[in-house]
Amino acid sequence: MKGIDTNILVRFLVGDDHDQAKIVYNLFKEVELNKNELFVPLLVVLELLWVLESAYNIERNNIIDSISDLILMPILKFEHLETIQKFIIAGKNSKYDLSDLLIAHTASSYGCETVFTFDKKASKYSLFELIK
């Protein structure tokens, strides 16, 4: 198995560079034909959130929908898939920062009861605790 970086998913989703988007499309087709998978690290998902929000100004619901669609692709094997699924549900049902939600649900998947933070907004989410 081989892994992919954030820029591969950005080209796939945004298609802003036609040549690179075509290369990604061909890569995905080849992986599919060979019945292989591409590994997507959790950090790639976190970075993807940041890039789509900050560099491309993509709306929150569209980002959540895109991640939901990506996890359904049989050629993509996501690290901590269950955590990402919980993050998607939380993202659809709240207005908290997407990156914060992913951090909280990742910590929770490792048994953390809470995540200490100085972020007052994040601390209102049940998996965060404001530290003073």
**pLDDT tens per residue, range 32-73:** 999 999 999 999 999 999 999 999 999 999 999 999 999 999
pLDDT, the chain, mean: 97
pTM: 0.93
pLDDT-above-90 percentage for the chain: 100
β pairing state of 115-117 and 128-130 = parallel
Mean pLDDT of 100-117: 97
Please give the full DSSP string across 33-84, using - where no structure is assigned. HTT--EEE-HHHHHHHHHIIIIIT---HHHHHHHHHHHHT-TTEEETTHHHH
Supply the pLDDT for residue 74.
97
- What pLDDT band is residue 93 in, cutting at 50, 70 and 90? very high
Supply the pLDDT for residue 104.
97
